[in-house]
Structure 1
Amino acid sequence: ITARSMFSHVSTTYISASTNRHPHGAAITGSGLAALASHRFLAFWDTTDADGRGVLATLPGHDEEITVVKALSDIFVTGDKLGHVKLWRKRGDKWIASHSWRAHKEPVSALSVSQNLILTGSSDATLKSWYHTQDEGGDKIDEGQTIDLKRRYPLDIAVVFALSLEGHEDWIRTLSFSPSLPESSDPTLTLASGGQDGYIRLWLIKPNTPKPVHSKSTDPTDELLDAFERSLNEVGLDEPGRQLSMREHVFSVRGSEGQAVTYSLAFDALLVGHEASVNSVSWKPSNRGAPPQLLSSSTDASLIIWEPIDSGAGAIWGSTQRFGDVGGQRAGGFVGALWINSMEVAGWGWHGGWRRWKRSSGEQEAWYEINAPTGHYGPVRGLAWSPEGEYIVSTSQDQTTRIHGPVGPSHTWHELARPQVHGYDLTDAAFVGPGALRLISSAEEKIARVFDAPKGFVRTVRSLGTVEWGDEQADEAVRPVGASLPPLGLSNKATELESSNEDISFSKEPTRPPFDSELATVTLWPESEKLFGHGYELHTLAVSSSGSLVATACRATSANHAVIRLHASSNWQPIGKPLSGHSLTITRIAFSRDERMILSASRDRSWSEQDKVYAGMIGDYEPVADNASHGRIIWDCAWSTDDKIFATASRYVHPPTQTPQLTHHQGQNCTHMEWL
């Protein structure tokens, strides 16, 4: 049986992916296509999609985590932790890695692109320039200059060394030049720098015009400015990062015809508003007639839009809009942010989820939040469908359990809830019983936890059209409103009080999927039971098709612990004796659809089948078959829809793919065949 004979066409419906914890891990083109660094993959998000589908595709290519993404016209440039840089170009309707090279021996920490010039910076304390050309043979890269930074770590790149600017009292995390219109007659340029000291500094660059010298000038302006600068520095001595210097730096660069062109650079403004490290700064795309605006992100969990209150050099800048969480730092804050267009801004947080705000089209400026991509920021360990296929649950080493499902008439998939935010890495999860309103999860602890859906979740999936339940199935009246996690606790507690904040209350009937900030706070499920019995951390679990039985297995280095324990979901009591048959950790458990057989796979490279004993007590199973034909660890196993065939999957060196083996049952006789 092959997928080719069963399906004429397979397409991707939903991709849940997070963004890496790097301030320059995302970039966007003028058309609204954003490229996100998602672990080793480059994820694409069409920000103009009317249905808000989020991530559309993920492209493999890097062998290690992507650290930086930049956009240049119709291509993207990425760098990773191994020091590799890749060019991504669209060919037809697909994006491909058109060129790749080893730029550094250490991780690429900064990257800048301009026309045919690419600059890369690395933790090996070097900057390198690369010249990019394209011909019929494809993209070509030629190495230019290597600049030794003398053990300094580059975090962003904007200019080649010409002078040194003092002011920040801690690491400078980000740099950004203001955009300039090709038709503009204004020759000035503004450089924004953000640092770990929490401050943003603006530096004004303009052509240097020599000032005439008057030997007998009586204008006191210069003397007043000098006195004012001295007084500011005296006041700011005890406040790191606030020292101001009005010194004008003069430097020369080589013009297009080889002539020397002189510019002056001076400190222009100090932006104070963030309470923690500034991780990124981004200028609003050029718009003639509109004042310049700067977007900043910070570890204090806020994004701020800055603009000058008046015009001209030396203008006073102020914050015009603040997004995010108010009242201190939360979960690492925002890692980075960018302008999607002149009407939208977006930022991604420490846990990889995005938050997005859009400006209303009315005369009065007002911003409101809209949906953005979310996803696990750690490896996904468990995935299971609800019994009727309404939605899926996933667990991850990021210590969260998440539910994903279709929303609205377009059936666009979104993250609907995070039933569990735990203190241990999660290993598996499954729904229990009909209705998909109860689930069980396992983590790197000795107990399994059972959760029941709160009233808020039932109303959410009903209101969004994800399910078509009746009141008798949901039994909404007896359910708690939601759940909360006590400080330093691991068990979610039921809450009965309606939220006083209408923006984050999901006890009503919502008209949209929850945002990332709401998923982390108001979509928890209350914990109802705990299952004990194992001596080591749980590794996997399974639920029978009727939901009456729950099977669990833990890590094991001996046959004594490499067992399956069964619990009845009616009273959560253990039933039968532990099912043995393996000598190392059981990696997967699968019930047949008639619940007559239990299949298990193990790290000991074998599979085992247990059959129900009808003459014994409920939950009694006995081993009837096993096999150790695999040469590597068996990671997964599954039954066919008619329970006559099951497949096992193991990773082989040659070829480097998951190679399933099929077993067909005829009484007690088993035959094996390779699935090619």
Structure 2
Amino acid sequence: MTESEDVIVKSVFIAAGCNRIVNNVSWGACDLVSFGSQNAVAIFCPKTAQILTTLPGHKAPVNCTHWIPGAKFAFRAKKLESHYLLSGDSDGVIILWGMTLADRKWRLVMQLPQLHKKGVTCITGIMVSLTDTIFASSSSDGAVHLWELILPCSPGGECKLSCFESLSVGSKPMVALSLAELPGNSEHITLAMGGLDNKIHMYWGKRTGKFVRGCELKAHTDWIRSLDFSLPICKPGEANSIMLVSSSQDKGIRIWKMSLLGFSGGEGQETYRKEISLASYIEGPIIVAGSSSYQISLESLLIGHEDWVYSVEWQPPSTRNEGSSYCQPQSILSASMDKAMMIWQPEKKTGIWMNVVTVGELSHSALGFYGGHWSPDGQSILAHGYGGAFHMWRNIGIDTDNWLPQKVPSGHFAPVTDISWGRHGQYILTVSHDQTTRVFAPWKTEASHLDGQSWHEISRPQVHGHDINCVAIIEGKGNQRFVCGADEKVARVFEAPLSFLKTLNRATLQSDIPEDLQMGVQILGANMSALGLSQKPIYVNAVHESPGANGNDSIDTLESIPDAIPVVFTEPPIEDQLAYHTLWPESHKLYGHGNELFSLCCDHGGKLVASSCKAQSQSVAEIWLWEVGSWKTVGRLQSHTLTVTQMEFSRDDTMLLAVSRDRQFSVFSIQRTGDEISSQLVAKQEGHKRIIWSCSWNPFGHDFATGSRDKTVKIWTVVDSKDPWVKQIATLPQFSSSVTAVSWFGIDRQRDHGLVAVGMENGLIELWSITVRRNIDSGGSSASAALAIRLDPTMCHVSPVNRLSWRSREKSEDSRSVQLASCGADHCVRIFEVNLSYN
């Protein structure tokens, strides 16, 4: 929460997708999940399915995160007051973060010495004691570094860090690491490394360093993708053994056993093996660590996945009683690019490892999983996939396993380019370069937690074949509609199906859709075409012909793709449902532009839509006006010579404002006489010294703000006379970065007072209080501006803010509180609640 004397701002909602890279996600002993979302580290709570915060600090995409302690060491974490998180990015930077459990407050503890010259590929660690952690980091520069981190005994203390070993295996970098204490010899650490040479490299050494090569395990025939050591096994006779599981792009999973043979220097070798198993005859390499010797043997080969296995992980130990003792379960979770996660366990009688649980993603846009993770209690599993999405299942069975999908946060996995509030502010529509359009809404519940509502993605109207650049909700009466423009020369019009309207009513706890609207909507949902460019309508009278209309029928194979079944949801939908059952039908295509669409806007009466495209000449840079309903071209406005970056209609719809890359803005007057629409250029002026990225009208008059790459925001007014002209009435003090988004919100009409939200290229957001004073006698105006609040960087974006949009207020609503939405190049959508204490 950020506050100033007059304004208090708190974060209400964050949507963000996961970077599409292995090792990016980590589930901590504190039962929070961390992941990289572009340059930020995002933290989400699995219980509420909400992203709690994002941590700014990295200047490059985050590749990997790792909790200290992780889920594996949750049995040691019960008395800890602070938990820590490591994150590594594609520039080789590793940052240590700290979080106090009591208040969930985060701080940047330190940036590690930058020993890696290229991107960090993996971070893994073990807790040797409550305050001592050993972790290793690998990079595509071929180096692996081992670090010791001494955690403070009290919350206010300082962490002590040292790098005690650096290893280089060769020219082919390592991408998978795992650490473990050697069984029966806790003074020694073993490190398993795997990478692009298809071999597992085993090293051992003391905690002070001097690691030596133990052996190489050659069995996989493709890149090693994941390694994970178990804790010492609790079975009788196995107390001095640990297991290592490895997965590879050869589609196989291998389990290796490292057993303590005995101690050298005595009379013979004392053995701890109590039974002779088949594995004991397959003698593997022996490594000698200090006075102990260990044999590594291949215990089992698991075949079941049909594509690269990106991730394997042992189930975290279950705690025995209240002490620090634990029991390591014989259970492995694997995640693969074949869109499936599997749990493997040995049969009780034969000991043969079998696949006991399979869960997966069935949507047509799925391309597999990059990683799978256990919750600390072992009752939930989480996957992150190619589509930047999370999938979570929880075992709710008592006597037998019953894994059911759970709600998770969702969001775009590429820059979010535009946002638009629903007509009455019930939801927000976002578009992105990830080629999707998404609807986020507050889902109200009778039971009050989080003020009785929490935000979720409730629909994915469009899954397109092009990067989407702009969107505009069509105002006015009738059904919910929007126009969007992508990296193609066509604007597309979409209309809300009946299934979405009913789901929205359920989310907002409204009784039902207005009768006139419900009668008019004959389309229940939409189907995706084979090429993924057009969405065909599914009509109400045809839905009974589709099998399994309740949407819950199981699908025989992962490859089969059924017809989409529009569903009215009674709780927030999960990823599979969003990607396939919430499409909107496309009703029109608007042809005319010569290049990729770049900007769209709709007037407040819902009669006109304006569009522009990327341009480098005056003829291509013209603005097209479309009549809503007939979708005929009713105007082509020429003024600019380069791309028009943003447009907006004045609140009374008599003027259209456009700003451009050519550093100029234009104001057009729009006249309506009956069905005829005419337009005229009122003013054209060079407003800034660099590109003008954004503009916004004052809701109370013909004043507007423009924001530019020259780091300034200027306030202008249209002087109404027989020959209207534009006059500058204020310039805000220079900002710290290029201004990429502005949005004006009216607070008090009598005082002509409002707030201008300013978003910058560095991701920061400021709110400025603007008061316009009009001189009725002279017809002139002046404006005063003051900084109302500068939002805390932890609440803001970490990359350029692409758009800001205030939610329109209903007359009956509390006038002291308003919501502001923002989207950015960091893949995030954010919603803030702004409380106006002086109102």
What's the TM-score bracket when you normalise by the shorter of the two chains?
0.7 to 0.9
Contact 1:558 1:583 in 2 (8 A): yes
Residue among 69, 76, 81 paired with 2:85 = 76
Contact 1:555 1:562 in 2 (8 A): yes
Residue among 629, 644, 664 paired with 1:570 = 629
1:664 deviates by 3.1
Q: What is the alpha-carbon distance in structure 2 between the residues aligned to residue 572 and residue 111 of structure 1?
A: 55
SS of structure 1 residue aligned to 2:146:
strand
Q: TM-score, normalised by structure 1?
A: 0.88
Aligned equivalent of 1:673 = 730
Q: Show the 5 A alignment for 1:381-420.
A: 381-409=417-445, 410-420=452-462
Contact 2:523 2:537 in 1 (8 A): yes
Aligned equivalent of 2:367 = 332
Does 2:483 correspond to 1:440? yes
Does 2:600 correspond to 1:588? no
Query: What letter matches 1:111 in structure 2?
Result: I
Residue among 135, 144, 149 paired with 1:118 = 135
1:225 deviates by 6.3
Contact 1:300 1:334 in 2 (8 A): yes
Does 2:381 correspond to 1:350? no
Higher RCO (Cα < 8 Å, 6 or more apart): 2
Q: What is the alpha-carbon distance in structure 2 between the residues aligned to residue 466 and residue 560 of structure 1?
A: 49
Aligned equivalent of 1:510 = 569
Does 2:508 correspond to 1:465? yes
Q: What is the alpha-carbon distance in structure 1 between the residues aligned to residue 456 and residue 215 of structure 2?
A: 49
1:98 deviates by 1.4
1:570 deviates by 2.2
Q: Deviations over 1:119-146 (max 9, x none)?
A: 1111111112233345678444333322
Q: What is the alpha-carbon distance in structure 2 between the residues aligned to residue 465 and residue 225 of structure 1?
A: 62
Q: What is the alpha-carbon distance in structure 2 between the residues aligned to residue 30 and residue 489 of structure 1?
A: 41
Contact 1:650 1:659 in 2 (8 A): yes
Contact 2:618 2:640 in 1 (8 A): yes
Q: What is the alpha-carbon distance in structure 2 between the residues aligned to residue 3 and residue 623 of structure 1?
A: 42
Aligned equivalent of 1:176 = 228
Q: Deviations over 1:224-247 (max 9, x none)?
A: 969xx9xxxxxxxxxxxxxxx923
Q: Deviations over 1:64-93 (max 9, x none)?
A: 111111111310101110011110112664
Contact 1:336 1:347 in 2 (8 A): yes
Aligned equivalent of 1:425 = 467
Aligned equivalent of 2:690 = 632
Contact 1:606 1:634 in 2 (8 A): yes
1:507 deviates by 3.9
Aligned equivalent of 2:168 = 148
Contact 1:648 1:662 in 2 (8 A): yes
Query: What letter matches 1:117 in structure 2?
Result: I
Contact 1:390 1:467 in 2 (8 A): no
Residue 542 to residue 163, structure 1, CA distance change in 2 (3 Å): same
Contact 2:234 2:328 in 1 (8 A): no
Aligned equivalent of 2:147 = 130
Does 2:106 correspond to 1:95? yes
Aligned equivalent of 1:525 = 584
Does 2:650 correspond to 1:619? no
Aligned equivalent of 2:306 = 275
1:301 deviates by 0.2
Contact 1:458 1:476 in 2 (8 A): no
Query: What letter matches 1:564 in structure 2?
Result: I
Residue 616 to residue 607, structure 1, CA distance change in 2 (3 Å): farther
Residue 500 to residue 268, structure 1, CA distance change in 2 (3 Å): same
Q: What is the alpha-carbon distance in structure 2 between the residues aligned to residue 38 and residue 21 of structure 1?
A: 9
Query: What letter matches 1:124 in structure 2?
Result: D
Aligned length: 633
SS of structure 1 residue aligned to 2:13:
coil
Query: What letter matches 1:670 in structure 2?
Result: K
Does 2:63 correspond to 1:64? no
RMSD value, Cα: 2.9
Q: What is the alpha-carbon distance in structure 2 between the residues aligned to residue 607 and residue 3 of structure 1?
A: 34
Does 2:342 correspond to 1:304? yes
1:298 deviates by 0.3
Q: Which runs of 5+ in 1 are unaligned?
A: 215-220, 230-244, 255-259, 653-657
SS of structure 2 residue aligned to 1:607:
strand
Aligned equivalent of 2:536 = 493
1:671 deviates by 2.2
Aligned equivalent of 1:236 = none
Residue among 409, 412, 416 paired with 1:380 = 416
SS of structure 1 residue aligned to 2:499:
helix
Aligned equivalent of 1:44 = 43
Residue 465 to residue 180, structure 1, CA distance change in 2 (3 Å): farther
Residue 476 to residue 411, structure 1, CA distance change in 2 (3 Å): farther
Contact 1:435 1:473 in 2 (8 A): no
Q: What is the alpha-carbon distance in structure 1 between the residues aligned to residue 406 and residue 673 of structure 2?
A: 59
Aligned equivalent of 2:332 = 294
1:364 deviates by 2.6
Residue 118 to residue 319, structure 1, CA distance change in 2 (3 Å): same
Q: What is the alpha-carbon distance in structure 2 between the residues aligned to residue 42 and residue 585 of structure 1?
A: 34
Contact 2:470 2:485 in 1 (8 A): yes
Q: Which runs of 5+ in 2 are unaligned?
A: 70-82, 127-131, 179-190, 192-202, 204-212, 269-274, 319-325, 446-451, 553-563, 734-839
1:546 deviates by 1.4
Residue 81 to residue 473, structure 1, CA distance change in 2 (3 Å): farther
Aligned equivalent of 1:107 = 119
1:596 deviates by 0.6
Contact 1:387 1:436 in 2 (8 A): no
Aligned equivalent of 2:766 = none
Point out the more displaced range, 540-549 or 94-103.
Answer: 94-103
Structure 1 vs Structure 2: percent identity of aligned residues? 30
Query: What letter matches 1:336 in structure 2?
Result: G
1:4 deviates by 5.7
Query: What letter matches 2:115 in structure 1?
Result: A
Aligned equivalent of 2:323 = none
